[in-house]
């Protein structure tokens, strides 16, 4: 792709968060980058020529007024060994709204225009330095909020998705070429050697379709890595929900009192479980009746439960099961639920079996008896949560699997569908040209993961998600 065919102007943006800080970075990219730097930057040692990929110490000067604006370190990097493959300039200045704003205006009046969100990365893509899946990994990396998520984005940035998809694509191309060689001899495949068609079927299925389906399946589990999990604590009043929240996040986040109805609002916090971010919501105790404030709180509880990936339902072992517990059960019906029998340090009024019977739960339902006030029980609970919620081979860091995002998954599913058509046509000895067409469509779907021939709307959607300056 020719980088000078489209947006050939020079763009600039503040690349660091706006606000007071030690250092702020202004980034410029495009053919005019060096020229602009020379207009606005005075190196301390005038005689030294600006060298590529070196830091230079000096001052930013307002070319109009001649004012010294800030003491900076500036670098100029000659393309193509840069983020965008264009000439890139970075100015490290002090960071504060006034300084950065002045700097930006000086650079803008010296010949650059303000970059759109994600435009630097878009240029890296258009110049062919990275493919679309790697550009998406940049956003994921910036947004990642847990170690596991970060690790995955890093793998993707290094081309994890790209190399797999490219290998399927190559493979598909060569199978299509083999197939077309038959078609040259006959219209129908029934005249081709059965052994040869069989070999194509085998290859198409085992080395392309199966791994494509496998990667697509990982999407759901991968969502957990990207977005984390939402855990909602539910139960009747006074069972220990707020105590559990505090125990899980390791601080006194919610008020705990011996009075039922203490929590009236949804209280949210987060903790990290095996590298995955878990958002946890403590809710108002559920019970029929109650005053109007409690009723509002219960409505909010209902909303939280509807957003939950998993509900932790707490029961109080020290009091008999009652109709308040029954109404909680109705409230959370249909949600993925784990049960905690809390206050196991006190004499118990019932056991796990009674709960299973009363609510007709299967034997497989996880029920854990513990006291959320005991640190050792909390540790056990954490590891039980880990096993129930996260322990799939995929989520262990060593697996190195790549996980598609939603867009990539949709492309994979399309590719798989075309491959299945091709396979069933091959099986029925259908028209060779149709088979070849389906294989071509599958290849196109794979190529759209990489961003071969992307349309502008798609690029706008992907890069519009970035911040300005990236």
Ligand X SMILES: Nc1nc2c(ncn2[C@@H]2O[C@H](COP(=O)(O)OP(=O)(O)OP(=O)(O)O)[C@@H](O)[C@H]2O)c(=O)[nH]1
Applying CB under 6 A, the span of 116-124, 208-216, 254-262, 333-341 interacting with ligand X comes to: 254-262
Question: Three-class SS of residue 74?
Answer: strand
Cβ proximity to ligand X, 15 vs 248, nearer residue: 248
Cβ proximity to ligand X, 48 vs 349, nearer residue: 349
Which secondary structure element, helix H or strand E, spans residue 359, and what is its range?
helix 352-359
Using CB under 6 A as the binding rule, the residues of this chain from 344 to 373 that contact ligand X are 345-346, 371-373
φ and ψ of 279, to 5 deg: -90, 130
- Find the shortest distance in angstroms from Cβ 379 to ligand X: 14
Q: What are residue 337's DSSP bridge partners? A: 311
DSSP conformational letter for 397: G
What would the DSSP string read from start to end of 411-424? HHHHHHHHHHHHHH
- Find the shortest distance in angstroms from Cβ 323 to ligand X: 16
The binder of 158, among ligand X, Mg ion, none, by C-beta within 5 to 8 A per type, is none
Handedness of CA 186, 189, 194, 196 (dihedral sign): positive
The only residue of 46, 49, 64, 258 in contact with ligand X, by rule CB under 6 A: 258
If one asks whether residue 436 binds Mg ion (CB under 5 A), the answer comes out as: no
- Find the shortest distance in angstroms from Cβ 237 to Mg ion: 8
Using CB under 6 A as the binding rule, the residues of this chain from 205 to 244 that contact ligand X are 235, 237-243
Cβ proximity to ligand X, 93 vs 301, nearer residue: 301
If one asks whether residue 304 binds Mg ion (CB under 5 A), the answer comes out as: no
- Find the shortest distance in angstroms from Cβ 322 to ligand X: 15
Cβ proximity to ligand X, 144 vs 371, nearer residue: 371
Question: Three-class SS of residue 56?
Answer: strand
* Segments of 109-198 assigned E as strands: 113-114
Cβ proximity to ligand X, 144 vs 242, nearer residue: 242
What tokens does 314 get?
Answer: 């707490």
Per-residue x/- track, 268-307, ligand X (CB under 6 A): -----------------x----------------------
Cβ proximity to Mg ion, 304 vs 408, nearer residue: 304
Cβ proximity to ligand X, 248 vs 270, nearer residue: 248
- Find the shortest distance in angstroms from Cβ 369 to ligand X: 10
Burial degree of 448 (CB within 10 A; 0-12, 13-18, 19+)? buried
- Find the shortest distance in angstroms from Cβ 306 to ligand X: 19
The only residue of 262, 396, 410, 429 in contact with ligand X, by rule CB under 6 A: 262
**Helix/strand/coil (H, E, C) string of 399-413?**
HCCCCCCHHHHHHHH
**Which residues contact residue 83 at a Cβ distance below 8 angstroms, ignoring those fewer than 6 apart?**
29, 120, 121, 124, 129
Closest CA to 231 of 386, 405, 392: 386
| Euclidean distance between CA atoms 441 and 202, whole angstroms | 19
DSSP conformational letter for 348: P
Kindly determine how many residues on this chain lie close enough to bind Mg ion according to the rule CB under 5 A: 4
Applying CB under 5 A, the span of 139-147, 234-242, 337-345, 362-370 interacting with Mg ion comes to: 234-242
Applying CB under 5 A, the span of 237-245, 341-349, 373-381, 455-463 interacting with Mg ion comes to: 237-245
Handedness of CA 234, 239, 241, 247 (dihedral sign): negative
- Find the shortest distance in angstroms from Cβ 216 to ligand X: 41
Which secondary structure element, helix H or strand E, spans residue 93, and what is its range?
strand 88-95
Chain-centroid distance, C-alpha 130: 18
| Euclidean distance between CA atoms 62 and 192, whole angstroms | 76
| Euclidean distance between CA atoms 95 and 101, whole angstroms | 10
The only residue of 263, 301, 304, 414 in contact with Mg ion, by rule CB under 5 A: 263
Phi-psi region of 274 (alpha: psi -120 to 50; beta: other; left: phi over 0): left
The binder of 260, among ligand X, Mg ion, none, by C-beta within 5 to 8 A per type, is ligand X
- Find the shortest distance in angstroms from Cβ 242 to Mg ion: 3
What would the DSSP string read from start to end of 216-260? HHHHHHHHHHHH-EEEEEE-STTSSHHHHHHHHHTS--S---SST
The only residue of 149, 242, 342, 408 in contact with Mg ion, by rule CB under 5 A: 242
Applying CB under 6 A, the span of 1-9, 102-110, 252-260, 461-469 interacting with ligand X comes to: 252-260
- Find the shortest distance in angstroms from Cβ 346 to ligand X: 5
Applying CB under 5 A, the span of 263-271, 297-305, 392-400, 433-441 interacting with Mg ion comes to: 263-271
Burial degree of 426 (CB within 10 A; 0-12, 13-18, 19+)? buried
If one asks whether residue 405 binds ligand X (CB under 6 A), the answer comes out as: no
| Euclidean distance between CA atoms 245 and 248, whole angstroms | 5
Contact set with Mg ion (CB under 5 A)? 241-242, 262-263
Contact set with ligand X (CB under 6 A)? 235, 237-243, 256-258, 260-263, 285, 342-343, 345-346, 371-373
């Amino acid at each position: 792709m020719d980088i000078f065919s489209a947006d050939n102007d020079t763009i600039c943006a503040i690349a660091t968060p706006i606000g007071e800080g030690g250092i702020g970075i202004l980034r410029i990219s495009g053919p005019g980058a060096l020229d602009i730097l020379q207009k606005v930057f005075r190196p301390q040692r005038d005689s030294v020529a600006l060298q590529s990929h070196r830091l230079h110490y000096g001052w930013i000067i307002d070319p109009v007024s001649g004012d010294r604006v800030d003491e900076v370190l500036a670098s100029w990097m000659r393309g193509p060994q840069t983020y965008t493959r264009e000439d890139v300039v970075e100015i490290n200045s002090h960071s504060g709204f006034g300084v950065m704003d002045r700097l930006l205006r000086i650079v803008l009046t010296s010949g650059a225009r303000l970059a759109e969100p994600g435009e630097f990365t878009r240029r890296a893509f258009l110049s062919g330095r990275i493919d679309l899946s790697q550009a998406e990994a940049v956003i994921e990396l910036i947004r990642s909020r847990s170690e596991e998520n970060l690790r995955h984005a890093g793998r993707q940035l290094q081309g994890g998705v790209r190399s797999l998809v490219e290998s399927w694509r190559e493979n598909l191309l060569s199978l299509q070429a083999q197939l077309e060689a038959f078609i040259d001899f006959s219209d129908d495949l029934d005249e081709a050697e059965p052994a040869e068609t069989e070999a194509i079927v085998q290859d198409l299925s085992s080395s392309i379709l199966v791994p494509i389906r496998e990667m697509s399946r990982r999407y759901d589990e991968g969502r957990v890595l990207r977005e984390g999990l939402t855990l909602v604590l539910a139960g009747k009043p006074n069972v220990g929900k707020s105590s559990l929240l505090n125990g899980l996040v390791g601080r006194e986040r919610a008020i705990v009192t011996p009075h039922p109805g203490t929590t009236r609002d949804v209280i949210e916090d987060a903790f990290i479980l095996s590298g995955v971010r878990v958002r946890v919501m403590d809710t108002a105790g559920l019970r029929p009746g109650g005053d109007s404030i409690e009723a509002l709180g219960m409505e909010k509880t209902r909303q939280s439960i509807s957003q939950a990936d998993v509900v932790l339902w707490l029961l109080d072992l020290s009091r008999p099961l009652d109709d308040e517990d029954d109404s909680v059960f109705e409230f959370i019906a249909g949600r993925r639920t784990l049960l905690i029998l809390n206050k196991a340090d006190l004499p118990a009024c019932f056991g796990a079996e009674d709960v299973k019977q009363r609510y007709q739960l299967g034997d497989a339902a996880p029920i854990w008896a513990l006291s959320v006030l005991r640190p050792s029980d909390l540790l056990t609970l954490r590891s039980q949560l880990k096993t129930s919620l996260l322990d799939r081979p995929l989520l262990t860091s060593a697996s190195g699997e790549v996980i598609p995002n939603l867009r990539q998954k949709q492309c994979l599913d399309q590719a798989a569908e075309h491959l299945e058509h091709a396979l069933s046509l091959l099986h029925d000895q259908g028209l060779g040209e149709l088979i070849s067409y389906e294989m071509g469509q599958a290849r196109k779907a794979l190529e759209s993961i990489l961003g071969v021939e992307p349309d502008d709307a798609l690029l706008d959607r992907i890069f519009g998600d970035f911040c300005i300056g990236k």
